[in-house]
Amino acid sequence: MAYLIWPLIGVIIGLVMGKALGTTLRQPQTRGAPLVGALGGLIGGIVGDGVPHAATNSVTFTSLIGAMIGALVFCWAVRGRTRDVEP
């Protein structure tokens, strides 16, 4: 169950980050935000729960905080990267 909740938290944070940056989902840089948030949430949840404990598939407070931080870091890292590419 935890492996579904952590990416879901990441998707929500990715959508919120896209809106907070003043962009819409039609712009290229925000299409991937939910996917990047989901990946960050999954990785952050595993790290926050502790890699050995992640096998128990339980949701803990530290794993939720880890998922939130992971999603925020991943979304922040890829924000506006499409603007770096020259046309």
- 3-state SS string for 31-61: HCHHHHHHHHHHHHHHHHHCCCHHHHCCCCH
Give the containing element (helix H, strand E) for 6: helix 2-20
On the question of pLDDT at 3 being above 80, the answer is yes
- Amino acid 8: pLDDT: 92
Summarised one tens digit per residue, pLDDT across range 22-79 is 555 445 555 677 888 899 999 998 888 887 766 677 788 888 899 999 998 888 887 6
- Amino acid 87: pLDDT: 53
Banded pLDDT at 21 (limits 50, 70, 90): low
- Amino acid 2: pLDDT: 80
